[in-house]
Structure 1
Amino acid sequence: MPFTTIFFDLDDTLYPNSSGVWKLIKERMNLYMHQHLGIDWEEIPTLREQYFHEYGTTLRGLQAHYHMDLDEYLSFVHDIPLHKYLQPDKALQNMLQVLPLRKFIFTNADENHARRVLAALGLENCFQTIVDIKAVDPYCKPMQAAFKIALEIAGEPQPKNCILVDDLATNTRAGREFGFYTILFGQIGEHPDANVSLSHLTDLPDLLQDLKY
């Protein structure tokens, strides 16, 4: 397969879920909804689940139903001391540097958060650019329109030449429907919503070699 381009999700993909970072982000999402939008604590879990299924992210759901400041929200929910939870990942850095594909971040977070995560992991120079939530506005993963914009930003006209690595099955399913080869990260064995699953990112070159990329 003539793969040229690979998109990596950010949170819970470039670093493990066990780091606790995503847990803290979710807690700050809940806090924002309560403090800034006046939503009762009891309603927040149900609303977030509803927004995730209807809009792809909590953010896009809040934007549809509340008057809110995008930059304020993004700054608030990502206000986390990442250096306490993430450390440079030399093995991942080495793998990315030798991977002979054009590499992009494709995230439903914002670029500032993505750059902070990459800096904490020591991966600042491993990607060509970051496709963030603002770049695909008003869309987000798993919307097909978001994948189309990501493709345009990458300058790759053919979805079949692209790979997506993501920890959410909703995103890998949408990516595959769009034409990407999708890898569901953090899973073992076959999965109906991805072409293949992968439990360790450093195993990616071996997986791709089997595909003869």
Structure 2
Amino acid sequence: MALAAILFDLDGTLYPRSAGVQRALDERMNAYVQQITGCALDEAPALRHSWFIRYGTTLTGLQREYHVDVEDYLRAIHNIRLDTFLARDRELDALLDRLDLRRAIFTNSPAEHAARVLRALGVAQHFPLIFDIRFFEFQPKPNRIAYTRALDALGVTASETVLIEDTPQNLPPARELGMRTILIDEQGTHSPDGIADHVVPDIRAALRLVNGDVGRI
């Protein structure tokens, strides 16, 4: 079946992880976890990882086990200066401009963070829809409901949709539903077998694939 829509993850997908945004977010999350739980700062990453495995996100772990105020958490974590990490990406802008498909941001971050990232990259005009953590009613990827809610909002079937994502754990629900999947693997540590339909090093390669420049998806 022909493609009708693309779901784009945000952080680590539209720009590389090596840009440093995720590192800055991780530092804020570690400090927040230390503040809430009383653990040592160097223990926070392991605690967060356990929540990631169990719940999918740090926020969900904090909600389930410490009943944190969600909006307080989102404000504390995402209040970073993106212009110190990201700049206008004209090549990405041009590749997105060639797409003749519906598209949306599909992120566990809040919409205001996604909007600031898109503005920093100079590609906000390409994304009329942002499906974020509030849209999912705080049931984030890889919870299956996040994927079905996005498909319903777009009015497309899974088989008409491709997901571009940098987190392998977020791909199985998409594949089970019938989406095609592209994994962004900046470090080159994954092969497609059992993980994604395609593995590429960056968003440009993913979009060239979707646009038919380097084979078919």
- Give the TM-score category using the shorter length: over 0.9
Structure 2 counterpart SS, 1:108? coil
Which deviates the most, 44-53 or 111-120?
A: 44-53
Q: 1:114 to 1:206 in 2, by over 3 A?
A: closer
Match of 2:201 in 1: 199
Match of 1:163 in 2: 162
Match of 1:121 in 2: 121
The one-letter code sitting in structure 1 at the alignment partner of 2:34 is H
Determine the C-alpha separation between the residues in 1 that align with 2:208 and 2:17.
Answer: 23
Matched, 1:100 2:105: no
Q: TM-score normalized by structure 2?
A: 0.91
Give the Å deviation of 1:42: 4.6
Determine the C-alpha separation between the residues in 2 that align with 1:37 and 1:112.
Answer: 27
RMSD: 1.6
Give the Å deviation of 1:147: 0.6
Determine the C-alpha separation between the residues in 2 that align with 1:147 and 1:39.
Answer: 34
Counterpart contact for 2:96–2:207, Cα < 8 Å: no
Residue deviations 1:90-141, cap 9 Å, x none?
Answer: 1001111111111100001000100010111001101120000110013110
Structure 2 counterpart SS, 1:211? coil
Match of 2:180 in 1: 181
For structure 1, the 5+ residue unaligned runs are none
Structure 2 counterpart SS, 1:88? coil
Match of 1:24 in 2: 24
Counterpart contact for 2:10–2:114, Cα < 8 Å: yes
Divergent runs of 4+, >4 A: none
Q: 1:38 to 1:196 in 2, by over 3 A?
A: same
Residue deviations 1:162-213, cap 9 Å, x none?
Answer: 000000111122211122101001255534211111113223344232337x
Counterpart contact for 1:57–1:140, Cα < 8 Å: yes
Counterpart contact for 2:9–2:106, Cα < 8 Å: yes
Determine the C-alpha separation between the residues in 2 that align with 1:23 and 1:42.
Answer: 15
Residue deviations 1:25-52, cap 9 Å, x none?
Answer: 0010011111244333354222211110
Matched, 1:211 2:180: no
Which deviates the most, 188-197 or 141-150?
A: 188-197
Give the Å deviation of 1:67: 2.1
Match of 1:15 in 2: 15
Determine the C-alpha separation between the residues in 2 that align with 1:152 and 1:173.
Answer: 19
Counterpart contact for 1:198–1:204, Cα < 8 Å: yes
Counterpart contact for 1:55–1:61, Cα < 8 Å: yes
Q: TM-score normalized by structure 1?
A: 0.93
Counterpart contact for 2:15–2:203, Cα < 8 Å: no
Match of 2:85 in 1: 85
The one-letter code sitting in structure 2 at the alignment partner of 1:112 is E
Determine the C-alpha separation between the residues in 1 that align with 2:115 and 2:138.
Answer: 21
Which deviates the most, 77-86 or 193-202?
A: 193-202
Counterpart contact for 1:131–1:153, Cα < 8 Å: no
Match of 1:190 in 2: 192
Q: Percent identity?
A: 38
Q: 1:42 to 1:130 in 2, by over 3 A?
A: same
